[in-house]
Structure 1
Amino acid sequence: MQNRLLLPAAPPRPAVLPAPGEAAPLQRPWRTGTTPEKQSRRRKLLLHCLNLSPWAAAEPSAALLPSPRRCSLPRCSGAGPLSRTTGSRLLIKLVFAPAAPPASFAGTAALRPRSRGGDGGDTGFRRGAMSGRAAEPPPDATLRRWEREQAQLKASVVEEDTEEWQEDASFTGLERVGGVDLSYIKGDDTSACASLVVLSYPALEVLYEDCRMVAVSAPYVAGFLAFREVPFLVEAVQRLQQEEPKLKPQVLLVDGNGLLHPRGFGVACHLGVLTDLPCIGVAKNLLQVDGLVRDELHREQIRSLQREGDTFPLTGTSGRVLGMVLRSYNSSSKPLYISVGHRVRLETAVRLVKSCCRYRIPEPIRQADIRSREYIRKQLCSPLEVISSGPESRKKEAELDD
């Protein structure tokens, strides 16, 4: 049965949207239909109920509300414009917003959260019928500059243990483990939530949490993920050092690769060098570099991992071990790809990641991902404030704190 959208009865009026700047009736009985005009009206109504301008996306779309019985729209705290019903009707209070979209939000928001999957950068929310804007690819001169910067920073990477707690088999002296992640709003790859959490060790209880909406200006380019995400993560670490210096993590687990990278300098290496913290790269998929491929031999090696804690090395055609494949959880046959980021040996990195796993994903990264996606869901019930990177963003954050 087709879902219908019903509002309280009102005197008959022409079924048209008001022009920008004009007054609109507060209530209007609209029903769903199959014509593009009706679908467009419904889509704009839904955008407004998420506190976005109904003109935030002008492209026609066939976006339809889910059935109320399976409704996955975000709940709003208090008396919000969006409410659920157990019957076949979904009541929405209609109050039109100004014609111009809010300056603090660069795109539209998808509706249904999804589980993480794919690479470290593939995260956030499912792409719906509404689409946002995508960043333009960088010019060749920018890519060459990024390559030079990676080469310069790579000289500072330390692939050995540098801390006393790393020398102990049970990590005596390790008390705080950090995890970082960025969750994107699917359909708008310029808006994301940067998350940093600090967990106690070995209890793995959350001691500190920092989630901020950020405006991502750099596009995604394979091999250059750090230039897209690391600036926001570095700022999160700096905020932690200023606000709660006693909770500074002794090691960071990063959702991405370290030395397992086309130029041997992945996002975990980049973050480690800039923060001077021990960092470990934890990826969910194999990055095919130096002859490493996900062929039948690789799949057979994965099947040979029978118990949690089983590993095998990732050796490239150059003969160098670039990382380690780890079965982190008995109930999951999908492995993790561990690589050195900074100031840690590969063997130490694998042992630490294994000790942080209650499930397949190590708890610091898992908590950073969960909390960033939850933060986005909460923001969908209020106007999103997207923070950019740099000095201007810090000034803006100070204003918000005031």
Structure 2
Amino acid sequence: MDFSLNQEQEMFRGYVRKYLDDVGQTKIARDFIKYEIDSYQSLLSGLAELGCSSVNISEKYEGMGLGALDLVPVLEEMGRALLPGLFLETNAIAVPLLEQFGTEEQKEKYLPKISSGASTFSLAWLEREGNYRPSSIQMNAQQDGEVLILNGIKTLVPDAEMADSFIVLVRTSKGDGEKGISLVIVDRLETNMTIQSQKNIDETRWLAEITFQDVHIPKSQILGPIHEGWQVIQEGLLSFNAALCAVIVGGIERVVEMSAEYAKIREQFGQPIGRFQAIKHKIVDMKMDLETARSLAYYANWALETGAEDRVQAIFSARIFATEAFIRASSDNIQIHGGIGFTEEMDCHLYVKRARYYENYLGNTQHYYEQTAMALGW
């Protein structure tokens, strides 16, 4: 099987990389840390003009009508640049769920805006002292005629202050199992929710706690069948994790490049440190992890796009390996750089923090080991 991307996909990658090079790659992330978001907003407009935000949206809704594999080069380049923001949540969760489960009204309302780069989505899942299992979804959505009344608190919501809409997991019937969970689309400017900022290890990703108090949402905003939202979000997790693997591959690739470049110019005992076996072996191990993660990511996205029988285990096993490889590579990169690797002057720390952020985002490694084992019938 050929695991490489085709000529058109690689050409598109070139356009995206050139654009991100022109804006300074990680400069956008560094500006974001200082709450200077003008450059980020400008970047989003530029990426939308390139067509990045419309890749996997149907032509009927002003998109390109392409698949998951066509999104891979865009995601890899965003991973290299540690791009902040909600592209992943919007195009790898919201878009696939809207395309598969959304009503015609929902598709017409949201997809053209996403395609033009004018709208972004975040995911409000976690609750206080909760986890990503169905029993932790206790936020109440009381039904009153054609309206849902939302009451509860969602925490660690990514980039909530920048999102235009949220996919919120709520409980529409009593219980603590999978049955009775629904997905509701909540538009930020049309509700009276309260957003409180939270600290994050990765300062390029803002987190927030959202309080819903008697928030009235029309039932037409329910995404997918009512009470069956758990099955719906599982489909979203498949597309999200396949896309996340591609983002991580981009991050690992840049880390390997940084290590190799530094090993050539840093000298000790009269020679570049890259000549020492300890450094050589470490960089080779990082490169091996990169190529393995890339192959797994490409296969995961191919399996998602084609609906292959092994898509669940392919995607979750790719997520496990890529996440762990990113942590190893970014940590080794700091070791190779030595003392200067710990300083803010270098980008090393940014990649370590992003790797640790992804480690537990929408499920930890143990959770995905269990999911993979179940998919394999073990």
TM-score of the aligned structures, taking structure 2 as reference length: 0.26
Please say which structure displays the higher CA radius of gyration. Answer: 1
Q: Which has the higher helix share?
A: 2
